[in-house]
Structure 1
């Protein structure tokens, strides 16, 4: 099942290190079959507010996403980003193609009834 690296980036400060990070990150992703799905375009805010931008990188599975994040190649460049951009990064498993939110609702109802 696909997994994702999701970043919510705030308070970006332009810096030469950020450009270097952008130039080097794809080489860290390629061995792990990671690719950008979203990379910080302006978002249309339909509800609420969203300070900052988002990045979404897809991986074949959660173990591969973890391996990329912990890889020496990525760890060698991470400070280029974190020293100049405040944000959060999550590694999260996606849902399968047959995901049905009604099944989740049924499980939540059963849990609530058992409490």
Structure 2
């Protein structure tokens, strides 16, 4: 793989694509690690209703949005990404917990 350049040092589209591809790989690895915690949370929670915590979600999204803006990222973009991630995680936890309870019955 080619060397990843800083944005200001990119003079060709290929330079930028290489950097974005490298960052995408890092993001995938981070999301995969995050998913391990979501899986563990689903093991710990006792009922599917525990998967959705409105107050926790809103607090988390607000903090993510603020931090994103501090970093120069559009708050709307960060919020949309995290809400999508959270929605998927809630659904995953609900399915996982419900399946576990079904097996226990």
Fold conserved between structures, TM > 0.5: no
Q: Whose strand fraction is larger, Structure 1's or Structure 2's? A: 1
Which structure ranks higher in relative contact order (CA pairs < 8 Å, sequence separation ≥ 6)?
1
> Greater CA radius of gyration, 1 or 2?
2
